[in-house]
Structure 1
Amino acid sequence: MTDHKTGTREEWLAARLELLEAEKALTRRSDELARQRQELPWVRIDKQYRFETDDGTASLADLFRGRSQLLIYHFMFAPEYAAGCPSCSAIADGFDRTVVHLANHDVTLCAVSRAPLAKLQAYKQRMGWSFPWASSFDSDFNYDFHTAHTKEEWDSGAVEYNFRRTDFRPPAGHENPMLAEFASSVGTDWETYRREGPGVSAFALEDGVVYHTYSAYERGVDGLWGMYQWLDRAPLGRNETGLWFRRHDEYDSQ
């Protein structure tokens, strides 16, 4: 017998209609936030970044692939990693079927990571993905957009992430087993793992000039997790205890 509140269909409908009003309010608020994102000032990018792609060396403008808008997912995959971040991998599982729709709406979606291209290509093949993925190895790109952090930042306890300074170092003697599990999942330690960060950045290309228009980190990328949008509508919600998800080829059964 469930210990959750139960009721009649009439009681459910009354509660559901009340919730519907709250959902509509949230939708309207979300529309307003989207409008505010689009009204952010554009910042001209004059720095020349170079990337390695399946098609050869590319500039930031080249990543647009002839379109006027570019969305970059900052995928956590440092040169020291043996595999891509499991969280980023769960998010990226939804990219392939989205890329074609965005491409036909004048938007290119591309992942960018610091690992060498050969590493990205091997992992991409393992995961069965086909979306564009560029390597920014030996480039300042991830550092400039605050999704990679130097050892000096880490040691100072003042990592620039999510528009503020953060200390990601676990307190001495209070190492978190879940943090260790995340790091182990990419074959490294916590410091090396967390000197990368997830994020999304948007760019516009107009008259040959690239502009940075938007970036988001932490819960700002929450909406990109397709599985979480489903779980938020499931009876038990996210119902998380520890690191419950895996790369899609690591589950015992599918």
Structure 2
Amino acid sequence: MTTHITATRESWLAARRELLEAEKALTRQSDELVRRRQELPWVRVDKAYRFDTEEGSVALPELFKGRSQLLVYHFMFGPDYKAGCPSCSALADGFDGSVVHLANHDVAFCVVSRAPLARLQAYKQRMGWSFPWASSAGGDFNFDFNVSFTEQQQREGGIDYNYERGGHAMDATPVPAPVAEFAAMSGTDAATYARDRPGMSAFVIEDGVVYHTYSAYSRGLDGLWGMYQWLDRAPKGRNEAGIWWRRHDEYGRS
């Protein structure tokens, strides 16, 4: 028998209308955040970043593919990983359906990781994805946009992630169980796994000049998780007691 409160349809409707007012207020607050996000100052990108892609070696402006805006997802797939991060993989399952719509609204989209291109392509084929994925191997792109860190930074506690130093689960001692679990699922150890982090960055190009406009990390990526948007509307919500998700081809395995 359920222990949750039950009601008549009439009383449910009254409670739902009250909740609707709160939802509308949250939507208006979200609209205001979007406006403020778009008002952030732009920072000129002068460094000549290069990426390995299916079309060959390209510069950052070429990732725009003729569009004026570029969205990049920083996917955790370090050079020593054997497979992509399970969390990034779950989030990335929602990318393919959006890419074509973004492209037809003057927005290019690309995933970027530090692993070699051949390894990214093999994993992309395994997952059945079609979105663009570029390798920044050997370059500074990931480091400059605060999603990759050196072993020395890690040893010295010099990791600035999500606009603050320390405080993230991947920097905790002892290593949290979920971090160790996902590191193993990615074919590496926890310390190596934690030298790459998830994030997204936005860029714009005007008169041939690229500007960085926005980046988000950690729970700033929550809105990009398609499954969480659905779970937040399910009767039991996220209902999490730990790490439950897997790569989509791993569910049902013993």
Partner of 2:171: 169
Does structure 1 residue 121 correspond to structure 2 residue 88? no
**Mapping of 1:232-243 within 5 angstroms?**
232-243=232-243
Partner of 2:78: 78
**Offset at 1:176?**
2.7
Give me the whole-angstrom Cα distance separating, in 2, the residues matched to 1:169 and 1:101: 37
Give me the whole-angstrom Cα distance separating, in 2, the residues matched to 1:169 and 1:193: 11
TM-score, scaled to structure 2: 0.97
Partner of 1:140: 140
Partner of 2:222: 222
Structure 2: 5+ residue stretches without partners: none
Partner SS for 1:210: strand
One-letter amino acid matched to 1:41 = P
Partner of 1:193: 193
One-letter amino acid matched to 1:241 = A
Per-residue Cα deviation, 1:78-98 (whole angstroms, up to 9, x for no partner): 010000001100111011110
Give me the whole-angstrom Cα distance separating, in 1, the residues matched to 2:62 and 2:151: 30
Partner SS for 1:109: strand
Does structure 1 residue 4 correspond to structure 2 residue 9? no
Verify the 8 A CA contact 2:175 2:190 in the aligned structure 1.
no
Partner of 2:23: 23
**Offset at 1:177?**
2.2
Give me the whole-angstrom Cα distance separating, in 2, the residues matched to 1:248 and 1:60: 31
Partner SS for 2:112: strand
Partner SS for 2:180: helix
**Offset at 1:175?**
3.8
Per-residue Cα deviation, 1:23-61 (whole angstroms, up to 9, x for no partner): 000000000000101101111000000100000001000
One-letter amino acid matched to 1:32 = E
Partner of 2:95: 95
Moved over 6 A (4+): none
Aligned pairs, how many? 251
**Mapping of 1:241-252 within 5 angstroms?**
241-252=241-252
One-letter amino acid matched to 1:80 = D
Give me the whole-angstrom Cα distance separating, in 2, the residues matched to 1:10 and 1:192: 56
Give me the whole-angstrom Cα distance separating, in 1, the residues matched to 2:76 and 2:172: 19
Verify the 8 A CA contact 2:136 2:142 in the aligned structure 1.
yes
RMSD, aligned α-carbons: 1.0
Partner of 2:211: 211
Per-residue Cα deviation, 1:142-179 (whole angstroms, up to 9, x for no partner): 000000011111111231101111154332xx443222
One-letter amino acid matched to 1:244 = W
Per-residue Cα deviation, 1:191-217 (whole angstroms, up to 9, x for no partner): 111111100000001100000000000
Give me the whole-angstrom Cα distance separating, in 2, the residues matched to 1:56 and 1:99: 21
One-letter amino acid matched to 1:101 = H
One-letter amino acid matched to 2:236 = L
**Offset at 1:190?**
1.0
One-letter amino acid matched to 1:186 = S
Give me the whole-angstrom Cα distance separating, in 2, the residues matched to 1:48 and 1:177: 39
Partner of 1:184: 184
One-letter amino acid matched to 1:81 = Y
Structure 1: 5+ residue stretches without partners: none
Partner of 1:160: 160
One-letter amino acid matched to 2:62 = D
Partner SS for 2:11: helix
Distance 1:113 1:175, change over 3 A: closer
- % identical aligned pairs: 68
